[in-house]
Homo-oligomer: A and B are copies of this chain.
Amino acid sequence: MKCKRCGELAAVKLPSHHAGFCPGCFELFFRKQVETAVRRHAMIAPGEKVLVAVSGGKDSLALMRVLSDLGHDVTGLHVHLGIPDSSDPVCARTEAYCRENGFALHVLRTGDVGLAIPKVKAAVHRPICAVCGKIKRHYFNRFAYENGFAALATGHNLDDEVARLFANVLRWDATYLGSQGPTLPSEGRFVRKIKPLYRLTEFETAAYCFLKGIDHWKAACPYSGGASFTGHKKLFADLEHASPGQKIAFYEAFLAKGREHFAETNREGRQQLTPCASCGYPSSGELCGVCRIRALVAK
């Protein structure tokens, strides 16, 4: 197979785009997809500072690289969860990557704010992934807000977004359907959330890392039962295999023609939020979810 762009030997085959690319042209393709996402969904205005949530996995490291290559002002934030045999090496790998590439990186240790995940796991009686996600989202947003970042970028890819959309469709959850998308505007103490990789599949970010020699962390979290939405991702992989391009078509059709039908319900259905009595961030109760968890752990 030949590269669609330059005619050299192709290294990556992309049936959904009826194309194959050599390494150099694949990188151009990848960058172009991110550029399109950023432009179409008003993710980053010129000169704005962007905080990138960096887990150390393929998506977040690729995101740092590509946003920087596109000329954006990026800073990483890695949240060290305090999980034995996992958090230390993941953090070291992330720090090494940012150092070698000249990316600014901050590390926030949840243990320093009373929320080391092993202690949280022992204290709460809910699935730890949901609780850990809540804590990470809180601190990513808080760090961005308190340090003047205009946007928080996460490495969610097309497979993540399609699986989440499908989960929301299966329940016909109008509130979630009305707000799902690649850009969530800022509101009060919530900074703008953006997903610049939403047009790229897991396979494509993995290929990008491989071709760029990005040494990302590959092991799953020892506390998780594997990746989220595994079943739905498998299902859409089958669909994509049968008709290439179906995933991006489904998601883009949702953005163009589906989401608007849920906008009104989303406005009505959102909970009224007031400042948390402890941390001051938006909360549905007197204490926000994270401060309630911290209180539980402290007991």
Distance (whole angstroms) from the CB of A162 to the closest CB of chain B:
11
- CA–CA, A265 and B249, complex, Å: 21
- CA–CA, A231 and B256, complex, Å: 25
Asked whether any CB of chain B lies closer than 8 Å to the CB of A42, the reply is no
Segment touching B, from A10-18, A113-121, A235-243, A279-287: A235-243
Distance (whole angstroms) from the CB of A264 to the closest CB of chain B:
8
- CA–CA, A249 and B171, complex, Å: 8
Distance (whole angstroms) from the CB of A170 to the closest CB of chain B:
5
From B170, B234, B253, B262, contact of A250 by CB (8 A) = B170
Contact B171 A253, beta carbon cutoff 8 Å: yes
- CA–CA, A169 and B173, complex, Å: 14
Given contacts A261-B262, A261-B265, A262-B261, contact A239 B250 (CB under 8 A): no
- CA–CA, A234 and B238, complex, Å: 10
Contact B246 A174, beta carbon cutoff 8 Å: no
Distance (whole angstroms) from the CB of A239 to the closest CB of chain B:
6
Q: Which residue of B lies closest to A171 (CB)?
A: B253
Contact B239 A172, beta carbon cutoff 8 Å: no
Q: Which residue of B lies closest to A235 (CB)?
A: B235
- CA–CA, A172 and B177, complex, Å: 12
- CA–CA, A243 and B170, complex, Å: 12
Contact B231 A235, beta carbon cutoff 8 Å: no
Asked whether any CB of chain B lies closer than 8 Å to the CB of A190, the reply is no
From B235, B250, B258, contact of A238 by CB (8 A) = B235
Distance (whole angstroms) from the CB of A156 to the closest CB of chain B:
20
Q: Which of A165-195 contact B (CB under 8 A)?
A: 169-174
Distance (whole angstroms) from the CB of A106 to the closest CB of chain B:
40
Distance (whole angstroms) from the CB of A161 to the closest CB of chain B:
14
Asked whether any CB of chain B lies closer than 8 Å to the CB of A257, the reply is yes
Distance (whole angstroms) from the CB of A258 to the closest CB of chain B:
4
Complex interface: chain B residues within 8 A of A246 (CB)? 170
Contact A261 B174, beta carbon cutoff 8 Å: yes
Asked whether any CB of chain B lies closer than 8 Å to the CB of A143, the reply is no
Complex interface: chain B residues within 8 A of A242 (CB)? 231
Q: Which residue of B lies closest to A258 (CB)?
A: B172
Distance (whole angstroms) from the CB of A84 to the closest CB of chain B:
32
Asked whether any CB of chain B lies closer than 8 Å to the CB of A254, the reply is yes
- CA–CA, A243 and B234, complex, Å: 14
Top 6 A-B pairs, shortest CB-CB distance:
A172-B258, A261-B261, A172-B253, A172-B257, A170-B250, A231-B242
- Given A170-B246, A170-B250, 4 more contacts at CB 8 Å? A170-B253, A172-B253, A172-B254, A174-B257
